[in-house]
Amino acid sequence: MTTPTTTDAVVSVGWLVDRLDDARRDDPSLRILEVDIDPSNYDAGHIPGASKVDWKTDLQDSTTFDVPTEAAFEDLLGGFGITPESTVVVYGDMRNWFAAHAYWLFTYYGHEDVRLLDGGRDFWKERDAPLTDDVPDFTPQSYTVADRRRDIRADQPDVMASLDRETTLVDVRTPEEYRGEILAPPGWNEGVQRGGHIPGARNIPWNQVVEETGCFKPENKLREIYGEHGIDEEEAVITYCRIGERSALTWFVLHELLGYGDVRNYYGSWVEWGNTVGAPIEKGQRASIKRESNR
């Protein structure tokens, strides 16, 4: 599988296989983290040297339903033997939904060198790459957050303000969620009272950017997808989904792979917007704004 761009933000299976000896060493220069919707996946076999991250307890504050505090994030990374200078590779199931959320969180808290494994857990297994049930035990390190990247996060006031500005909203949920026919993907906790979408949002489902293997589509195809919806890299973009994890994957594509300069992930996403009294919504399918073909 060809890497879609020249960015270091995404790494291939082969790239990581070649570095597994480094990842297993008690040396903080390279660390691997597995982030799954189903944490038991890790116990059934994981990449050698990878540590287990529980997105529900590790990547959010259960009291505030917000990102973990700086102190909690520092303790988490230090406990995994990570320093601010570490190269961190994240991967997971569900074609990297929650791994992309972890990548976004690392970037939000200013970690300089974080990468996403192309294809995630399932593609690694399909390539018969090494797996183990050994749990690594690394020497804890001291981790300090140097900066917070507030420019990659949108909150509800930002989204509300965008309704009257030249900001593009990208709803990455399924068309059924977007139209308000369902409140969450089948089998998922709904957690929201109203269906529909934020007024003016364009529906570009997250799965349009990945192949069946979970690997990202080539750069020209990715640009074509967003170009067909009239979105270019000069625009300010806010992505959202239900709880911010699928939209983190789209944020990754736009910001990290395609180089869009002003892309923010709406952390609260539809769970916050759909439960907010007075927040405007639309239902049904928005009229297409795709560019006309020259053919």
Active site (catalytic) residues: 241
Single-letter residue type at 177 = E
Please give the angle made by the CA atoms of 212, 90 and 210, to the nearest 5 degrees.
20
Torsion of CA 96, 86, 58, 279, to 10 degrees: -60
Which long-range CB contacts under 8 A does 54-57 form with residues at least 24 apart? 55/98, 55/101, 55/102, 55/245
DSSP secondary-structure letter at 81?
A: T
DSSP letter for each residue of 82-122: --TT-EEEEE-SGGGHHHHHHHHHHHHTT-S-EEEETTHHH
Q: How far apart are the C-alpha atoms of 38 and 41, rounded to whole Å?
A: 6
CA-nearest of 73, 50, 240 to 135 is: 50
